[in-house]
Amino acid sequence: MATDPARLTADLVRCPSVTPEEGGALALLESLLSGAGFRCVRVDRGGVANLLARWGEKGAVRSFGFNGHTDVVPVGDEDAWSVPPFAAEERDGVLYGRGATDMKSGVAAFAAAAVDFVQETPPGDGAILLAITGDEEGPAVDGTAALLDWMAAEGEAMSVCLVGEPTSRERLGDTVKIGRRGSLNAVFTVTGVQGHAAYPHRAKNPLPAMARLMDRLASAELDNGTEHFDPSTLAVVTIDTGNPATNVIPAACRATVNVRFNDRHTGESLSAWLRSEAAAVAETFGVGIDLRISVSGEAFLTPPGPFSDLVARAVEAETGVTPELSTSGGTSDARFVKDHCPVVEFGLVGKSMHQVDEHVPLPHIHSLKAIYARILRDFFA
């Protein structure tokens, strides 16, 4: 009997798996997959639960990987929801609940497709691996990265990997992601000397220096885009002094910028640029500028080729939509997978993700399973 991906999605939504809680979600998948002949191993690390399931032999010549997450973001203001966020209520063919699009439906669709595929047309010499994490929405340090570390140590490999994140923009099938921009956060602290606003010559005001620095950064043109990427962007996201007084020049000021960058840059090259900008302003204004940088992910690209073609053809065959190969949006766990094998991302329309009343039309879950099933058939054909 075919595995119903909509029912599986609803069962997963009922597991309250807000990062890093497992919530019963991986246990549910483990019982489904082991029942279908998958060898399941829990790869838990640092308080995060992860599941690796493999059908077929370790080290198979052709191995297809799926990656996804069962953790979800918090519900926020529960009173603002028109349904209980973990009840998986269905109304007029639409399933509501936290994780309905991001991405319990994606996990359910690829798990259901994989289970049916190995039961109906088992790939003789092939393997299917499902690497499912309980922390993609949180720090993601012990999530997919832990799974991949463990897999490398154990000789578990994937020839290619499909991440089932919601990538579609307006219509199911309109967008396949073949890369992602990198992301970097930088926190600047400008330190001067506090003083009376009436005697500014006795103080050293950090604010004009900060204003100059933020203006320089925000108005810099990082690049004009590259073949597969939009231009890199820098956003000043906060400037704070916390100064409640009108007659005091504060001693320090802090600001944070977020940079989304394409493959013209690396975290390192941008860090060097930010440091030199800070140093130039510090010298001009005679203030101290401290800089802390964290790189959440480097830009990467799986160049269009056989794998992205296979995925795009399957999407078009099932939906009638020709997908755009895109690198837009935020980061995802594909940033870890890309170090191991070619990785492409495809999934549902993500409009309601992370929102109140997150929802998914049930027919979309069935279509997504059909697309994943076709991808498996074509890959092993």
Residues lying near Zn ion in the complex (CB under 5 A): 102-103, 165
- 102 versus 142: smaller Cβ distance to Zn ion: 102
- 180 versus 204: smaller Cβ distance to Zn ion: 180
Catalytic (active site) residue 136: yes
258 Cβ contact list (under 8 Å, min separation 6): 183, 184, 185, 234, 235, 237
- 52 versus 103: smaller Cβ distance to Zn ion: 103
Dihedral sign computed on CA atoms, order 178, 176, 270, 268:
negative
What is the spatial distance between Cα 128 and Cα 44, in angstroms, rounded to a whole number? 21
User: How does 3-23 read in b/e, with b if 16+ C-beta sit within 10 Å?
Assistant: bbbbebbbbbbbbbbbbbbbb
Side-by-side strand order, sheet with 90-91: 90-91, 94-96, 359-361
Of all residues in the shown chain, the one whose CB is closest to Zn ion is: 102
Of 11, 71, 142, 345, which residue is the catalytic one?
Answer: 71
The count of other CB atoms within 10 Å of the CB of residue 29 is 26
Compute the least distance from the CB of residue 105 to Zn ion, in Å: 11
- 105 versus 302: smaller Cβ distance to Zn ion: 105
Range list of β-strands (E), 243-287: 248-249, 252-261
Distances (CA, A) of 124 to 35, 121, 331, 364: 19, 9, 35, 30
What is the spatial distance between Cα 360 and Cα 344, in angstroms, rounded to a whole number? 22
- 116 versus 135: smaller Cβ distance to Zn ion: 135
Catalytic (active site) residue 125: no
What is the spatial distance between Cα 19 and Cα 135, in angstroms, rounded to a whole number? 6
Compute the least distance from the CB of residue 200 to Zn ion, in Å: 50
Compute the least distance from the CB of residue 332 to Zn ion, in Å: 7
Q: Which of 319, 332, 281 is nearest to 166 (CA)?
A: 332
86 Cβ contact list (under 8 Å, min separation 6): 13, 14, 15, 16, 75, 97, 98
Compute the least distance from the CB of residue 69 to Zn ion, in Å: 6
- 116 versus 345: smaller Cβ distance to Zn ion: 345
Counting Cα atoms < 13 Å in the Cβ hemisphere of 85 gives 22
What is the spatial distance between Cα 162 and Cα 107, in angstroms, rounded to a whole number? 11
Compute the least distance from the CB of residue 152 to Zn ion, in Å: 23
Supply 67's token pair.
């990656």
Compute the least distance from the CB of residue 102 to Zn ion, in Å: 4
Distances (CA, A) of 177 to 164, 173, 229: 10, 11, 11
- 104 versus 369: smaller Cβ distance to Zn ion: 104
Compute the least distance from the CB of residue 265 to Zn ion, in Å: 25
Positions annotated as catalytic residues are 71, 136
